[in-house]
Structures are given as C-alpha cells and as structure tokens.
Structure 1
C-alpha cells in the first residue's frame, strides 16, 4: 500500500504488514494518516484488495 498526498508518496507498507483480516489494512492506514495529522472521515473511500 502506498499513501500518496498531492502526488508525493509519503508512506508505504507491504502486504506482510497487513496480513489477516482486511480491517488490519484499514487500521494501518488510519494510524499512518494520523501521523500526518489526517483523519479518516465519513465518506472517505478505502479500497483493500488482497491477491
């Protein structure tokens, strides 16, 4: 997963860091966004795909 803000990659995580329940990926995203002072809010779209 890559977190891109204004076209710049500011954080990334590999699949092995979010194995298990798909909510683990969303939790990683929420924690990573929080480090940048950004919150997940109602209406934000998060797409998680496991291959």
Structure 2
C-alpha cells in the first residue's frame, strides 16, 4: 500500500502494530482507537 502510494520501498524502515503494546484505551482493548500501526520512514534519498 505504501509503495502503491509512491513511497520508495528503500525508505520503509519499520511497520508494526501498536495496539497490543501501547493501547490508547486500556479499559477497552477492542476499542477502535487501539487499532493502529506505526510507520517509520527514512529520509528522502539525495
């Protein structure tokens, strides 16, 4: 999905889920705000 949006695959450093480790709503683990991912990109080449 990222590469289809034009992001060079070489820039993708890490993509990981965050809900199980750092929930935004700890009282409701299945809450929609807990369903998220973290995307880290390296700076643009050149």
TM class by shorter-chain length?
Answer: under 0.3
Q: Which protein is richer in strand relative to its size?
A: 2
* TM-score (normalizing by structure 2): 0.22
Tell which structure's C-alpha radius of gyration is larger: 2
Q: Which protein is richer in helix relative to its size?
A: 1
